[in-house]
C-alpha cells in the first residue's frame, strides 16, 4: 500500500489537513504520538510513524482525534519516501524524521520555558 496508494485521495478537507502534514494523536492509547498523515478520506485519516505503524500498514483514525502539528505538508519527505522502493527504508526515514522533529520541538519548548523563567525573574527583581 505505502504512502501513495492507488485509491483516489482527498487533497484537503474541512479541517485543513493535507497529505504530508505532521499530526499528533489526541485520543486513544497512542495519545500524543506523532504521525505523518498519509491519506484522507471523509472523516478518517491514515497515519504512519515508521515504527509502530509502518507506511504499508497505516493506522486509520478519525479526523477529530488528531491535530495538526506542522501546518505545511512535508513535500520533500513525501518525495523521498516515494523514491525509496524498499518499505524498510521508507519506515526508517519516516521514523528518523519524526524523531528529529520531536527533538526539535522539545528544544523549542525548553527555550520558551527558559525565556519565560528569565522574564519572571527580571520582574521579581524590579
Q: By the 8 A CB rule, do 21 and 75 touch?
A: no
Question: Quick one: pLDDT at residue 120?
Answer: 63
Angle between helices 87-125 and 75-83 (to 10 degrees): 160
Q: By the 8 A CB rule, do 23 and 30 touch?
A: no
Q: How far apart are CA 40 and CA 126, in angstroms?
A: 53
pLDDT tens-place string over residues 71-88: 888 898 999 999 998 999
CA atoms within 13 A on the CB side of 72: 4
Q: Which residue has the cell 496508494?
A: 5
Question: Quick one: pLDDT at residue 6?
Answer: 40
Question: Quick one: pLDDT at residue 9?
Answer: 40
Q: By the 8 A CB rule, do 18 and 70 touch?
A: no
> What is the chain's pLDDT, residue by residue, as a tens digit (126 residues)?
454 444 434 444 457 889 999 999 998 999 999 999 999 998 999 999 999 999 999 999 999 999 998 888 889 899 999 999 899 999 999 999 999 888 887 777 777 777 777 766 555 665
- Residue 112 burial by Cβ neighbours in a 10 Å radius (0-12, 13-18, 19+): exposed
Amino acid at each position: 500500500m505505502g504512502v501513495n496508494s492507488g485509491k483516489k485521495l482527498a487533497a484537503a478537507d474541512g479541517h485543513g489537513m493535507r497529505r504530508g502534514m505532521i499530526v499528533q494523536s489526541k485520543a486513544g492509547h497512542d495519545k500524543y504520538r506523532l504521525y505523518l498523515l498519509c491519506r484522507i478520506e471523509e472523516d478518517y485519516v491514515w497515519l504512519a510513524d515508521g515504527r509502530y505503524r509502518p507506511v504499508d500498514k497505516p493506522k486509520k483514525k478519525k479526523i477529530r482525534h488528531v491535530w495538526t502539528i506542522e501546518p505545511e505538508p512535508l513535500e520533500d519527505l513525501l518525495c523521498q519516501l516515494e523514491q525509496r522502493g524498499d518499505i524498510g527504508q521508507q519506515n526508517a526515514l519516516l521514523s528518523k524524521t519524526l524523531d528529529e522533529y520531536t527533538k526539535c520541538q522539545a528544544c523549542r519548548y525548553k527555550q520558551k520555558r527558559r525565556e519565560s523563567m528569565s522574564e519572571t525573574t527580571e520582574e521579581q527583581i524590579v
